[in-house]
A = this chain, B = another copy of it.
Amino acid sequence: MKHLAAQRGKGGPLKKKTQIAQGSLSRIQEKNRALILEAALQEFSKVGYSGATVERIATAAGMSKSNLLYYFPSKAAMYESVLGRILDDWLAPLRTLDPLGDPAQELRAYIGSKLTISARHPQASRLFANEIMRGAPRLGRVLETDLKALVADKCDVIESWIKAGKIRPVNPVHLIFTIWATTQHYADFAPQVRAITGTDLSDPDFFAETEKTVTDLILAGLGLQMPQAAKVA
């Protein structure tokens, strides 16, 4: 998962030999690269790759276009850097799914993590959505190797819970897709959610309501809900 990380090789800075150790960056570089990546994330996630302009990103980062291109050799390189930067955070929640834990607790935690990311980093969610909807031109390999392996691994976990009779039988991969879909929906389609409900996940009450409803629905779907079958008058 490193092939997407900072691959500044030539054309940008850091090409001279008198470098501060290996791969480390000067204070200015660190600050400016961070500013650029943050601005780029905002821009890319808002208008997509083709809609983004280097000029606007530079302005948002508080520097000239030329200066930005001093740090990143091209728009494409900048995009890949942004993508790589958030990829690990993106996959982290799924990694923590523990086969030895209690299914209800594990899934609750996973759904909660994903929803928290949707609330706190909706731009990241939208960036991935954009990338994948365009056919994952730069993420394709990662999906087919790392992500596929990770999902296969966690499918085994779910399968083991099923075999142990801890949850109802479901196709594990669809369960994972369902969790992704529902949680990311609130970030990716926030404008629609806002149009209909008037709020979004940044509102703590709405977040709580969403988390409860989605979690209950999925856990009940797996036969994991506490004995509360009926509750009507």
Contacts and interface: CB of A to CB of B under 8 A. Distances in A.
Given A186-B177, A209-B171, A48 B48 contact: yes
Given A51-B50, A185-B180, A217 B218 contact: yes
Chain A binding site: helix, strand, loop or mixed by DSSP? Answer: helix
Interface string A145-173: 00110010000000000111100111101
A216 to B, nearest CB: 7
A233 B165 contact: yes
Nearest to A188: B133
A50 B130 CA distance: 13
Interface of A: 46-51, 126, 129-130, 132-136, 140, 143-144, 147-148, 151, 162-165, 168-171, 173-175, 177-178, 180-182, 184-186, 188-189, 191-193, 195-197, 209-210, 213-214, 216-223, 229-233
Given A129-B129, A181-B181, A186-B177, A48 B51 contact: yes
Which 3 A/B pairs are nearest by Cβ-Cβ distance?
A165-B232, A50-B51, A181-B185
A50 B52 CA distance: 9
